[in-house]
Amino acid sequence: MRHVLMVLILAVTLTACATGEGPPPAPLSPAAERGQQFVVRACAGCHAVAGREASPNAVAPAFASIRMRHTEIGLERSLAQIAREGHGEMPPIYMTDAEMNDIVAYIESLGPVAATPGHDGDLQYTSVGGAAPI
């Protein structure tokens, strides 16, 4: 009986690993939730705003890669510049200081990411661990 129970526990554990199920992601802070809502509304047309997707516009970086390239202060400065001037193909996007702080909180909540080669040879970034999905 004990052997059967051990086999069942092992089977359930291996099934969870095979399906990618792990511990549930940590809940977003209120600021990160507001930031998530903003980026889904204003940015997701061009950018991948969650950690496990490709950007709809191939030249628009995924937010997971933005997270890897900027510190919190760097994100704040970049968002302020985008609000004033836009960036590359991106037009200026009106954001209040509070909205910029919320966006930074959301991007920071994406957590660590892993870079893997994509089908086109470019690096693809995916969330690892407790990052909250959209």
Q: Is the pLDDT of residue 119 over 70?
A: no
The CA-based dihedral angle spanning residues 115, 57, 34, 75, taken in that order and rounded to the nearest 10 degrees: 60
CATH 1.10.760.10 for the 30-127 domain, yes or no = yes
pLDDT tens-digit map of 3-30: 544 444 544 454 444 445 556 667 999 9
Q: pTM for the complete prediction?
A: 0.67
What pLDDT is recorded for position 53? 78
Tell me the C-alpha distance between 120 and 51, whole Å.
18
- Beta bridge partners of residue 124, listed in sequence order: 116
